[in-house]
Each structure stands twice: as C-alpha cells, then as structure tokens.
Structure 1
Amino acid sequence: MSAEEDSPRANKPLLGKCITTDDESDTLVVHSINNPRVDVVGASTTRLQNAPEDTFNFNYIVFYFLGMTSILPWNFIMMAEEYWLFKFRNVTGNGTDLTPRQMEMQADLSMSSAIPSTAFLIINAIIGYRFSLKSRIICSYVVMTLLMVLTTIFVKIDTDTWQDEFFVITIATVVVINSASAVASGTLFGIAGQFPSEYMTAVVSGQALGGIFAALAEIIIITFHPPPDLSAFIYFIIGSTALLVSIILYLIMQNTFCFKYFIMHQQMARSNSSRELLTAHVGSEIHQPSFKTVMGKIWVYGFSEWLVFATTLAIYPSVTVLVNSEHKGNGHLWNDIYFVPVVNYLLFNSGDYLGRIFAGLFEKPQDKPFVVAFLTIARILFIPLLALCNTKPRHSLPVLFHSDSIFILLMSGLAVSNGYLANIAMICAPKIVREHEKEMASSIMAAFLGVGLAGGSMISFLLVELI
C-alpha cells in the first residue's frame, strides 16, 4: 500500500456524490453489513478509491441528530419538574408544604438514571461487539420510543388515587429508558469511531446541542408558564417524535454507500475503462477485539474522559443551581427569575457545545494523552472556586465570590473546558488502536464517560452537605 493510501487524508471524504449506479451495486461486495465479526475487507489491486463523499452531509447530520436524541428523553424527563410535583402532590389536604415524595423525586430520578446507564455502558463496551450495530441501535431506540409514548399517555391519566403505583411505574420506566439510552449512546460512539473524527464530533456536539435545546425549552416554559401537565405533554410529545424520526433516519443512513464504506472498511477501485469494482475478499483471520488489549492502549484517555465528567457533575448542576444573583430580591426579572436557568443551564450547555466544536476543529493536543490528563486534573480547581460563589442556603463554607460576573466567568470556563477536553479524549482514543479495535475503543470511552457521570453525581451530594 502506498504512503498516499495510508495517509489520514485518504480516509477523508472527497467532494463528490456518494451515489452508486445499478452496475456498481452489482459489483459491490458487501459481506454482511450487520455482521459484527467482520473487520477488514481487502482489495486485490493497487488502485484504491478514496472514501466517497457524504452527499449533502447526510450521514454527518444524522450522527448529529442521533447524538442529540440519544439523551433527549432524559433531558425532558428531568425538565418536567413541575409535572412531577403536580403528579405527586398532596391530594388529601390544602397544605402547601412539599410531600416527602415531591422533595425526593429529582434525586430518585437521578439515581434511577445513573446506575443503569453506567451499568449498560460498561456492558456495551465489553460484549456489545457480539451483536450487530443495527440491532443495538434500532432495539434501543424502539424501546425508548415506546416508553416515551407510554410516559406521554400517563400525562392525561388521573393517577391521584394510585400515586404509589404510578411512582413505581415511573421509576421502572426511567430505568429502562436510561438503559436503552446507554446502549444507544455507547453504540453510536462505537460507530462514529470508525468514521473520520468529524463524525465523532458530530455525536458529542449533538448531545450538547440537546442540552441547549432543553434549556431553551425551559426558559420558554418559564416565560409563558403553562399548566404543568401541558408543559410535560409538550416535552414528551417532542421527545417521542424525535425518537421516531431517529429510527427512520438511521434506517436510511445504514443503506447509504458512505455508511457501508466506513463500517466495512472497504478498499475499492474502478478501472477507467470498465468501472469495475476491485475484487474484494475477507482475510482468513477474523480479528476479535480484546478488551484488555484495547484498555491498555486507551486508559489514559479513558481516565481523562472519566475525570472531566466526574469533576463537572460534582459541582454542576447540584451546587451551581444554588447560586443566587447578588441582586436577587430587587424586583428585576433577570435577577429573580432568569438568572439561574440562563446562566446555570443555557450558558453552560452553550459553552459545552462550543468547546466540543473547537475540539473538532483543532484536534489538539494529539498523541499526547498525558497532556490531556494533566489538563483534566488541573480542571478540578473549578470545584472549590464555584463552591465559594454565592450559593444559598449554605452552612459551613463562606462566600468568597459575590459577583455575578465572576460566577458567569467560572461557569463559562467549566463549560468550555468540559466540552473541549471530553471531545479531544473521545476523538483521540480510536486513533491509537487498530482498525478492528475502534468500535470497542469508542464504546469503552463511553463507559468511562458514564462512570464519570455517576461518580460526579455521588460526589455532588457530599458537596451540597459540605457547603
């Protein structure tokens, strides 16, 4: 193989259309696109085609959309806080105090998400390659769609007389939705790891864009203040529709020539005279990725991915949501109503999104995993700095930073660094493993991400008590 064919540029799409004619389709060797055991499809001649163009950036857009919808159900379920307060209100009296279930609902939702998500991200990383990509993606999205539809139906059902049973159904639904979401996310990262790095950026940026979308929806709800059941119904309808569209888009994408090219690692060429596709074959040795081997190669990037999210979730949003504007109580809408949702949610998600975009554009530092790890360790400083902002109520620590400007600056730094470092680690990890190990490497990185989220969430409980 020539140096040009081995270069990264040869793996990038060229300008052109990813379309095959009927004659080309007849000669295309597709060896079970859904067979996860196939690693490399070789070519028997020296003239190899460059990767086909992603026509109209269709595959890129679908990866973006799938990244957003892979966690969209969870975003909407958590956003519907007023709906859960309404569903579990005290229906036997006129008291205004929150019931124990109302006070604990957000924590219950968080725990019923973190544990199954982490477990299934790890399971997917270890044994996911044994199942076809199509079955993992489609099954997980179908499960999420059906359960989101069920959740939507319950909005219109009076559950006042059987709140305990409804609580059990809700928690069970959240557990299964997040398990399916973990499989979808892990598989999606695994697929994107086999494409050029910009497709991984599309997935992780799509997830951040989902956070922006959710934050904007919350601000709109605050502005118009519809009844809690109506706002939840809108959230869940949007979520169900987006998931259904995701299934359709994936089914279309998996049949595109570009998708098959990267997933099958096909090396093709056509004769100028006959446009004959190169005869392809599968090597006699089928390579199975080894979890231990892949982990040994990417563990530093995995550590960075874990620490980035553990640091972020330790302080955000459990502590940062308690930060009040220094001018709260003066009768201004910005300070009294919009400060927390805009700064804590919209600003953070926007900064996170920009960080992921910048990482995809610059892709630096590359081949320096310990530099990335050092930067993630230094980022721990955000925890004490944000904990010393104007959080209320507080019991032990003093307020060192009263200024809104300082809090906004720290939140911006936390957000951009989260997106940048998380994406850099996710992009670089698949690049240091062999071709047949890329999917497992990306899935392992997703598992590190999940463990970081769960670990950070647990630390956040301690920080809230400490403050």
Structure 2
Amino acid sequence: MEYSINTRPLLQDSDTENEDIITQSYEETSVSVQNDKPLFKPPEPKDKYHMAYIIFYILGITTLLPWNFFITADDYWMYKFRDTTANLSSSYDKRTPLQAEFTSYLSLASSVPNILFLVLNTALNHKVSVQKRVIGSLIVMLILFIVTTVFVNIDTDKYQDKFFIITITCVVLLNISSAILSGSIFGIMGKFSPKYITATIGGQALGGIFAAIAQIISLTLGVSSVHSAFVYFMVGNTMIFITLISYVILSKTVFFKYHISEKTGITLNEFQNELVRPRIVDHKLILKKIFPYGTSVFLVFLISLSCYPGLTVLIESQNHGNGDPWADVYFVPVIAYLLFSTGDYIGRLLAGKIQKPRRGIWIVLLTVLRIVFIPLLIFSNAQPREHLPVLFHKDYEYIMILFVFALTNGYLANLSLICAPRVVDHHEKETASSMMTVFLGIGLAIGAAISLLIVKVI
C-alpha cells in the first residue's frame, strides 16, 4: 500500500479538476470574494475640510441648473420670439404663437428625454463607469450652455423659427445630459451617509433660490431681458465649469474612493453572507424593496408639480393693480419662486436631521395627505379664472399654504431618498438610487401635465 503525503500549503489555491468544476459552478451564480479584499472594513477616511460635502452641494445645484436657468430667463424668450413688426411695448400685449407655445415646448423637451434617459441610465449604470457618465454629461452641458450664451447677442429676428428649433434642440440635449448626470450622482450618493444625500438634495433647492434671487435683482436694477439672460447663462457656464473641476478633484480623494469602491472591506457577517448569496443586480428585486419609497417620491413631485409653478405663478396679491410695486412686480417672484424654494430647502435639511418616519408605508401615507394642497392652492387668488371662486383672498393665507406645501415637499422627498438605499444590499445601492430618480422624473412629467388641466379648470 502506498501512502501519498499532501505537501500543498493549506491556503494555496486548488488546482485539481474536481475543485475547478466546483469553483466554476459557484462563479456562475455569484461573485466570489476577491483575494485582495480584506475581511474587516477599514476605518472610514475623514472628509478633510468638508470638501466632499461642499462638492455634493455643487453637484446638486448643477443637476437642475438647465431647468432653473431656462425658466428664469422667461422675459428673454418672450423678447426673442416677439412680433418684430410691432413696437416694443405692444409686442408684449398680444403674444405670438411662438411666445405662447414656447413654455409648453420647453416643458415637453425637458420632461420626455429626462425620463427616457433616467431609465436608460439605471439600466446601464453597471456597464458605463460613473466617471465617464458624470464628466461626459458635464462637458456636453457646458458646450450647450456656451452655444445658448452666444445666441443671446445674435440678432435672430429674421429667423425666429430656426432659432426656436435650435433652442429646443439644445434643451433636449441639455436634459439628456442632465438626466445622465442626475441619475449618476443620485446613484453614487446612495453609497454615502445621509449627510451627503442631504447635501445633494439641498443643492437642488439651493439652485432654485439662486435663480429666484437673480430674477429679483434683475427686476430691482431694471436690467433688460437680454442683459439678464446673458448674466444668467454666463453664471450657468461658470457653475458647470466649477462643477466639472470639483468632481474631478472629488473623484481623486481617498474619501470618495473608499465609498465608491466595491473592494473596500466588509464585516464578518457580510463576509459570511457573501459566501452563500449571489452578488447579482436583480432590478426586479431592487424595485420590490424600494417600491414604497419610490411611490412616495413619485407622489411628492406629482402633487407639487401639479401646482408649482404652473398654478402658483398665476396667484396674485390681494392688492394687485393698485400701483404698489410689491403687489404688482415683486409678489410673484418673491412668493411663488423664492419662498417656495426656501421652504423646500428647509424641508430637505430637516429630513437630513430628523429622518422620521422611516417605514415606507408611513411615508407614503404622509405623501398622500399632501393632496389637500391642490384644492387649497386652486381656491387661492389665481387669475384669470372663469369657473371656480376664490376662497383665500388674503396674502398671508396663501403664503402660509405655500410655505407648508414647499416644506413638506422638501422633507418627504429627501426622507424617501435617504431611506431607499438602506433597504438594499451594498452592491444594489447605486441601482436603487438611480431607480428613485426615475420615480422622481415620472412624477415631474405627470405633475406638469396635470398642471395644464388645473389651469384650465379654474
């Protein structure tokens, strides 16, 4: 009888045929733990000088920058598409077809590509690196904003139709880039703590505040619509460039790489689970896990967009028409835009601090209760109206309603986006957060469509 002695080191990789078969069978159903992956998670690096926090704020501002700046420059678009055969004062009394239809086309050109590419980004986020998606989308946005800025000082009166097509094309491409940027940023932020999720979400609301302040300053200084638009778009160019440089800097930090890398260490329990559980991104399973939070985000923005800004911009001060500058000039930009954006911003910050309730069913219930704001705003002093009476005549009544409306929008939206990544596994967080942006985008689109119906109903 012959005895063979196994002299192979205990931890040496197996090279026998049977073991190869077993290994191959296992790899077909799961992703095995790599040899260079530590067993325990190393301590989290510090966010030096709060650099990552600030950059996430900047990224949040930039995700909604195209929408905020194009909407704010409404006077500029009205000037570009005016009746050039009439004098300047009378050209605003009766809108041309391009003037009347531009906002609707702007909404359509924003919402449709936004939804399509949010879905596409979710499907491809594991096939195209986040670095390429973020940097590529920012470069395209910068080029398109430069093109838009150049056209500000070009006389387009003789080819308004062509300029209209060029502008809408730029809007479509901008929103494609914005959707890819938003989906990518929301995807990676799900891997960070709620503090950084709040920074990104808060940045979106802060962008609305900046746009509203810029509009108010322009009204105060009496700046022409062309000069205002030039300033808006130059600020946009600068902001996108700063965001691009900031993201490149962020992506090179140890803090960022620690959270993004799939090879960071794991706990003992997670290690044991990974041995028996496949690391496969199952979109249906992720959707099932986050569905309550996705439903909440969908309803939050559906309800909000059904009234803001389509209905709220029509609500006038009780003293409108009396020659009071506050009532006639500043009421709508200060209340409808600045107050709403401020309340929205405060709500998002509060959600980052309080984070209650956390169960999806309770968040959905609170979101459904927000439907009450739709009739409250419909019966405020929106003008003109033909069918429904005004029940809330006083300015303070409308201001209180709008502020709570904005506060709950920010709070519930941020709370849902914070809670969703917590109910999925680590390797599912990016996909889950990207899916949340799809719910958000669909809510925005349907809400905007409902807004058109509400305006006709009143």
Q: What pairs up with 1:187-202 in 2 under 5 angstroms?
A: 187-202=184-199
Matched, 1:52 2:45: yes
Q: Partner of 1:277 in structure 2?
A: none
1:386 corresponding residue in structure 2:
377
Give the deviation of 1:129 after TM superposition: 2.4
Q: Check if 1:122 corresponds to 2:114.
A: no
Aligned to 2:455: 464
Q: Distance in 2 between matches of 1:364 and 1:40?
A: 36
Question: TM-score normalized by structure 2?
Answer: 0.88
Structure 1 contact 75–214 (Cα < 8 Å) conserved: yes
Match of 1:339 among 320, 324, 331: 331
State the shift of 1:41 in Å.
6.9
User: Scaled by the length of structure 1, what TM-score is found?
Assistant: 0.86
Give 1:370's aligned residue: 361
Structure 1 residues 253, 400: CA separation in 2 closer, same or farther (over 3 Å shift)? same
Q: Distance in 2 between matches of 1:38 and 1:198?
A: 30
Identify the residue that residue 239 of structure 1 maps to in structure 2: 236
- Relative to structure 1, is the Cα distance of residues 437 and 328 closer, same or farther in structure 2, using a 3 angstrom cutoff? same
Distance 2:290 2:232 in 1: 38
Kept in 2, the 8 Å contact 1:42–1:283? The answer is no
Partner of residue 84, structure 1: 77
Q: Does 1:328 align with 2:320?
A: yes
Segments of structure 1 that go 5 or more residues without pairing to the other structure are: 1-36, 270-281
1:450 corresponds to which residue? 441
The unaligned stretches of length 5 or more in structure 2 are 1-29, 267-273
The correspondence of residues 262-273 of structure 1 with structure 2, limited to 5 A, is: 262-267=259-264
Per the alignment, residue 342 of structure 2 pairs with 350
| 3-state secondary structure, aligned to 2:281 | coil
Quote the Cα distance in structure 1 between the aligned partners of 2:225 and 2:60: 28
Q: Quick check: 1:40–1:265 contact (8 Å CA) kept in 2?
A: no
Check conservation: 2:37, 2:264, Cα contact below 8 A: no
1:306–1:349 distance in 2 versus 1, CA, 3 Å: same
Alpha-carbon distance change, 40 to 428 in structure 1, aligned in 2, over 3 angstroms: farther
* Counterparts of 2:226 and 2:38, CA distance in 1: 64
**Residue identity opposite 1:378 in structure 2:** L
SS in 1 for 2:347: helix
Decide whether the 8 Å contact of 2:289 with 2:424 is kept in 1.
yes
Q: Which residue does the alignment assign to 1:431?
A: 422
Preserved CA contact (<8 Å) 1:43 1:268: no
Q: Within 5 Å, give how 1:161-310 maps onto structure 2.
A: 161-267=158-264, 287-310=279-302
The one-character-per-residue Cα deviations of 1:96-150 (angstroms, maximum 9, x if unpaired) are 3221111111111111111111111121122222210001101111110000000
**How many residues end up aligned between the 2 structures?**
418
Supply the AA of the counterpart residue of 1:128: N
Q: Deviations over 1:37-93 (max 9, x none)?
A: 999878766664221111111111101101001111221111111111111111234
| 1:355 Cα deviation from its structure 2 partner | 0.2
Structure 1 Cα separation of the partners of residues 135 and 413 of structure 2:
26
Supply the AA of the counterpart residue of 1:143.
V
Task: State, as a whole percentage, how many aligned pairs show the same letter.
Answer: 46
Counterpart of 1:157 (choices 149, 154, 159) is 154
CA deviation profile, 1:390-443 (whole Å, cap 9, x unmatched): 111001111111011110010011100000000000000000001110000000
Shift in Å at residue 156 of structure 1?
1.4
8 Å Cα contact 1:215-1:346 kept in structure 2: yes
Compute the displacement of 1:160 (Å): 1.2
Instruction: Map Cα deviations across residues 276-327 of structure 1 (whole Å, 9 max, x no partner).
Output: xxxxxx9899833111110010111100000000000001111111111111
2:61 alignment partner, one of 62, 68, 80: 68
Q: CA RMSD in A?
A: 2.0
Alignment partners' CA distance in 2, 1:242 and 1:402? 40
Task: Look up the SS of the partner of 1:315 in the other structure.
Answer: coil
1:331: how far off? Answer: 2.4
Q: Secondary structure at the match of 2:83?
A: coil
1:198 deviates by 1.1
Structure 1 or 2, whichever has the larger Rg, is 2
Deviation at 1:329?
2.2
What amino acid is aligned across from residue 336 of structure 1 in structure 2? D
Relative distance call for 1:285 and 1:185 in structure 2 (3 A) is same
